[in-house]
Copies of this chain bind each other. A is one copy, B any other.
Amino acid sequence: MSLIVQKFGGTSVADAQRLENVARRVIEAYDDGNDVVVVVSAQGDTTDDLIEKAREVNSKPSKREMDVLLSAGEQISMSLLAMTIEKLGRPVISLTGWQAGMATDGTYGAARMKRVLTERMEAEIDKKRIVIVAGFQGINAVGDITTLGRGGSDTSAVAIAAALGAELCQIFTDVTGVFTADPRIVKDAVKLDDISYDEMLELASLGANVLHNRSVEMAKKYNVNMEVLSSMEKVPGTIVKEENSVEKMLVRGVTRDNNVARISLVNVKDEPGKAFQVFSLLAKKKINVDVILQSVGRDDMKDISFTVTEDNLQSALDTLNENNAAIGASEIRHTENISKVSIVGAGMQSNPGVASLMFEALYDAGINIQMISTSEIKISVLIEEKDAEKAVVAIHDKFHLSNV
């Protein structure tokens, strides 16, 4: 008998009918003789509704009170799922983040898991109860409610799986697994049976929108086997685990990310410490910078270009403009008409020529590359947003990914 952690997102628990679907999936695992811990997000639009309620009373509420407010969302969905399972005649109990021992640091709105105090969950599992836990939320050292920020419920599920030593952490989504490319763009995209943590991390950060990075990082750290699978269709998903299959595929998938904006600082002085000055300013504002390109200095001047996510663009521009007296750029340009297209695969580490094959695919398709960024297991290019889908199809085709 093994322990399985299952996580269901807000869409999966949005109404009574969907709750019953979820309950049946949970009961199936339970009736197979497994101990089951279920992590749920807030129902469908609950979080948006609560944010709107907050906005009506205060345009800048404290993060502490927002966490109190938003955590009510999972409290509602978890009790409704428990009631649904009660109706279907299985023993069940729901636990909030604090009841389940989800101890976090003190950062409201984006807390990090510190540890899971498993006593209560283990006691309920010993009683043969299905345990429903509120995702996304925890409790800090002073006894206040915290939330884990974006992708928080995935992180909750992995943290619980790690703490309880679960065999498997199943993340139920609206897709049947991880594909070689977005099936909406590439018709013959193929579902992968398994993928390594590192490949998944690159895919997640590159806009594959399946799993949040934090959860994959945690799964890698504690060696938790994850499965990404559909909450609607009963078909095997994609397993995310330590080792890739013996025969390493060159390239595992192609992704596109449109949530990219480029900022260019034109004509800054070509002197030591300039990049540090710029990027430390942005780091202080918690703005992550992705691809960076620095032109070769000429006449003591150079250009620095880099990308940020579109939601960080305004804040980044504000920061740079406020500090341009010190930075000394003659102009600060930006564009949002840009996409990042990437290929990911642990196999490419030992295979030279992968990059040139990718560039060839783009050249054949007549697509101009603006910036390039590489790591051991991925290659990203920045191109015009209008060319992005064409690029994904061309690359997917070039690497024969539909024949894996």
Hey, which bits of chain A sit against chain B, CB under 8 A?
Answer: 15-16, 19-20, 50, 53-54, 56-62, 64-66, 68-69, 71-73, 75-76, 78-80, 82-84, 86-87, 93-94, 96, 98-99, 120, 143-145
In the complex, given contacts A16-B53, A59-B87, A99-B143, what are 14 additional A-B residue pairs having Cβ atoms less than 8 angstroms apart?
A: A19-B57, A50-B76, A53-B76, A57-B80, A60-B87, A61-B87, A62-B82, A66-B79, A68-B78, A69-B83, A72-B72, A72-B75, A72-B79, A120-B143
Contact call B84/A58, Cβ cutoff below 8 A: yes
Q: How far is the CB of A284 from chain B (nearest CB, A)?
A: 25
Please, which residues of chain B bring their CB within 8 A of the CB of A83? 54, 57-58, 61-62, 65-66, 69
Q: How far is the CB of A307 from chain B (nearest CB, A)?
A: 35
Contact call B86/A62, Cβ cutoff below 8 A: yes
Contact call B54/A80, Cβ cutoff below 8 A: yes
Contact call A80/B93, Cβ cutoff below 8 A: no
Contact call B79/A58, Cβ cutoff below 8 A: no
Q: How far is the CA of A68 from the CA of B20 in the complex (A)?
A: 19
Contact call B75/A20, Cβ cutoff below 8 A: no
Contact call B53/A65, Cβ cutoff below 8 A: no
Please, which residues of chain B bring their CB within 8 A of the CB of A72? 72-73, 75-76, 79
Can you list 19 contacts pairing A with B, beta carbon distance less than 8 Å?
A: A16-B56, A19-B57, A50-B76, A54-B80, A57-B84, A58-B83, A60-B87, A61-B83, A61-B86, A61-B87, A62-B82, A62-B83, A65-B79, A65-B83, A65-B86, A66-B79, A72-B73, A99-B143, A99-B144
Please, which residues of chain B bring their CB within 8 A of the CB of A93? 64
Give the nearest-CB partner of A82 in chain B. Answer: B65
Contact call B57/A16, Cβ cutoff below 8 A: yes
Q: How far is the CB of A22 from chain B (nearest CB, A)?
A: 11
Q: How far is the CA of A144 from the CA of B79 in the complex (A)?
A: 12
Can you tell how many copies of this chain the complex includes? 2
Give the nearest-CB partner of A70 in chain B. Answer: B79
Q: How far is the CA of A75 from the CA of B86 in the complex (A)?
A: 25
Give the nearest-CB partner of A15 in chain B. Answer: B56
Q: How far is the CA of A400 from the CA of B143 in the complex (A)?
A: 56
Please, which residues of chain B bring their CB within 8 A of the CB of A120? 143
A-B pairs with lowest CB-CB distance, top 5: A69-B79, A61-B83, A68-B79, A16-B56, A72-B72
Q: How far is the CA of A54 from the CA of B20 in the complex (A)?
A: 12
Q: How far is the CA of A42 from the CA of B76 in the complex (A)?
A: 14
Q: How far is the CA of A84 from the CA of B54 in the complex (A)?
A: 9
Please, which residues of chain B bring their CB within 8 A of the CB of A144? 99
Q: How far is the CB of A187 from chain B (nearest CB, A)?
A: 38
Contact call B50/A68, Cβ cutoff below 8 A: no
Q: How far is the CA of A75 from the CA of B76 in the complex (A)?
A: 11
Q: How far is the CA of A73 from the CA of B75 in the complex (A)?
A: 10
Q: How far is the CA of A145 from the CA of B95 in the complex (A)?
A: 10
Please, which residues of chain B bring their CB within 8 A of the CB of A19? 57
Please, which residues of chain B bring their CB within 8 A of the CB of A61? 83, 86-87
> Among the interface residues A66, A79, A84, A98, which one has the most CB atoms of the partner chain B within 10 A?
A79
Q: How far is the CA of A120 from the CA of B144 in the complex (A)?
A: 11
Q: How far is the CA of A82 from the CA of B61 in the complex (A)?
A: 9
Give the nearest-CB partner of A64 in chain B. Answer: B93
